[in-house]
């Protein structure tokens, strides 16, 4: 995939008059100077002057937050509809059922080139303010390219699941100690799902770098074992609800030190990560402050991300998102955020997404390489070859049939010159 226009590397960017979130409830007006993709200086109270070499964006009226971290996704399934006829008892039962009931849908989706499907997974995350995503699948060359729209975790070990992995012990042993080992565990409501933690333990794969995904069938003894091992957990509440009719018991799972939130894939989830956050707060017993930490600092620690991930801090990577300032702190603002609210995404100091309103504020050089796309009628400018991506998808799915989380995709007929 190629970006639609050649881009110029901008060495210095100054974000002026921004109200910045330094935590779920900590707000401060600062100017942010970005140099070579990292936050070089934070000027208290604003008032910094752009040098001749810096491009400046006036962010008056906007709240800047750390880029969100999606702790669990399957990027290649971004264009899929939800496939389920619930309730099921475990993920194996669900998988067997959808391959029988929806073999035609699955076959059609797989006719789209895998690179294209993965790119749409990146775009889906970018649109909702995700700057780093954990893809639960083997590494793939396109995910390692600098042009991919979001950061994708590169250094990790993995197994699909306890039930479907032939040699968990080997998969874990091949994972360096300083990297996370990620595996679907206890995804279901029956004895098969519940016994998976013991299997993981017997296979010597339950340690402080282990990340369990789902953990729905964990009982009190299992939760204590996870806590004692130092392992972490990623919950995907809407996915669990949509295929099992049950939500994670966050009252008990809070005993695990590190718990993050993932949106899983459109095959089972409510939507993208912001949809998942709203669902988790409304139905899943997760408070706004906890939700904020579950998509910023918690996954940053669990996934062993570089310094500054999930935060706005000097010398950290300049991964930031901008939304309208409504007078609320970041945790309260997060409770109602949707894709429509994400008006600016900066990754490594480079603008990856902007709204029409944000476009008007930006120097032309920062806009070079952005292309427009309509998602459910909302227009965003993305650093992605959206025209090529949409043509490739529609060649298989049909004109006007491509969508992300039920939102129709289109290239706007009238674009800027």
204 vs 180: CA distance, rounded Å: 15
Q: How many CB atoms lie within 10 A of CB 123?
A: 25
68 vs 29: CA distance, rounded Å: 20
In a domain, residue 393? The reply is: no
pLDDT at 45: 77
By three-state DSSP, how is residue 413 classified? coil
* Tokens linked to 277: 């956050």
The answer to whether residues 263 and 70 touch, using CB atoms and an 8 Å cutoff, is yes
* Tokens linked to 392: 């490739």
CATH number at residue 121: 3.20.20.140
216 vs 237: CA distance, rounded Å: 9
In a domain, residue 136? The reply is: yes
Residue 178 belongs to what domain range? 69-302
By three-state DSSP, how is residue 172 classified? helix
141 vs 130: CA distance, rounded Å: 20
Q: Which segments of the chain have a pLDDT < 70? A: 1-9, 46-52, 414-417
In a domain, residue 394? The reply is: no
* Tokens linked to 397: 């799915």
Following CA atoms 407, 384, 20, 283 in sequence, which dihedral angle do they give, to the nearest 10 degrees?
A: 30
In a domain, residue 164? The reply is: yes
In a domain, residue 344? The reply is: no
Model confidence pLDDT, tens digit, residues 135-152:
999 999 999 999 999 999
pTM: 0.96
Count of domains forming the chain: 1
Model confidence pLDDT, tens digit, residues 385-408:
999 999 999 999 999 999 999 999
E-strand ranges in 176-224 read 181-185, 210-214
In a domain, residue 174? The reply is: yes
User: 255 to each of 76, 83, 220, 273, 300, how far by Cα in Å?
Assistant: 33, 33, 10, 24, 19
pLDDT at 417: 41
In a domain, residue 379? The reply is: no
pLDDT at 262: 99
Q: Which residues contact 193 (CB under 8 A, 6 or more apart)?
A: 89, 90, 91, 186, 187, 216, 217
- Specify the DSSP class assigned to residue 415: -
* Tokens linked to 313: 């801090």
pLDDT at 51: 66
In a domain, residue 415? The reply is: no
User: 35 to each of 28, 316, 317, 353, how far by Cα in Å?
Assistant: 21, 11, 10, 19
Bridge pairing between strands 12-21 and 54-58: parallel
**CA-based nearest residue to 397, from 105, 197, 130, 193:** 105
């Amino acid at each position: 995939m190629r970006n639609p226009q050649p881009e110029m590397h901008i060495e210095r960017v100054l974000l002026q008059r921004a109200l910045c979130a330094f935590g779920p409830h900590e707000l401060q007006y600062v100017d942010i100077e970005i140099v070579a993709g990292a936050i070089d200086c934070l000027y208290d109270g604003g008032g910094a002057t752009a040098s001749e070499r810096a491009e400046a964006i006036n962010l008056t009226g906007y709240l800047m937050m750390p880029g969100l971290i999606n702790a669990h996704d399957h990027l290649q399934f971004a264009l899929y509809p939800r496939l389920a006829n619930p309730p099921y008892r475990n993920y194996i039962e669900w998988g067997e059922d959808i391959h029988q009931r929806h073999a035609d849908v699955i076959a059609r989706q797989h006719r789209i080139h895998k690179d294209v499907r993965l790119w749409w997974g990146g775009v889906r995350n970018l649109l909702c303010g995700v700057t780093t995503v954990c893809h639960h699948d083997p590494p793939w060359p396109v995910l390692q390219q600098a042009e991919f729209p979001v950061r994708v975790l590169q250094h990790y070990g993995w197994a699909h699941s306890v039930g479907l992995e032939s040699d968990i012990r080997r998969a874990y042993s091949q994972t360096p100690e300083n990297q996370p080992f990620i595996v679907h565990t206890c995804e279901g409501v029956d004895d098969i799902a519940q016994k998976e933690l013991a299997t993981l333990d017997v296979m010597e794969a339950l340690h402080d770098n282990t990340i369990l995904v789902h953990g729905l069938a964990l009982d009190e003894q299992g939760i204590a074992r996870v806590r004692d091992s130092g392992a972490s957990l990623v919950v995907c509440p809407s996915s669990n609800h949509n295929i099992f009719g049950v939500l994670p018991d966050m009252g008990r799972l809070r005993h695990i030190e590190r718990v993050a939130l993932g949106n899983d894939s459109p095959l089972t989830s409510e939507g993208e990560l912001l949809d998942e956050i709203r669902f988790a707060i409304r139905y899943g017993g997760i408070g706004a402050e906890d939700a904020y930490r579950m998509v910023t600092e918690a996954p940053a620690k669990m996934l062993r991300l570089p310094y500054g991930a999930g935060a706005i801090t000097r010398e950290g990577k300049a991964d930031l998102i901008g939304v309208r300032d409504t007078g609320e702190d970041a945790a309260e603002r997060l409770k109602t955020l949707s894709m429509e609210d994400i008006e600016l995404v900066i990754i490594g100091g480079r603008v990856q997404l902007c709204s029409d309103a944000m476009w008007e504020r930006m120097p032309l050089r920062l806009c070079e390489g952005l292309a427009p796309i309509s998602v459910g009628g909302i227009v965003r400018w993305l650093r992605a070859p959206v025209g090529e991506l949409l043509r490739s998808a529609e060649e298989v799915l049909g004109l006007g049939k491509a969508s992300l989380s039920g939102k129709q995709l289109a290239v706007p007929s009238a674009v800027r010159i």
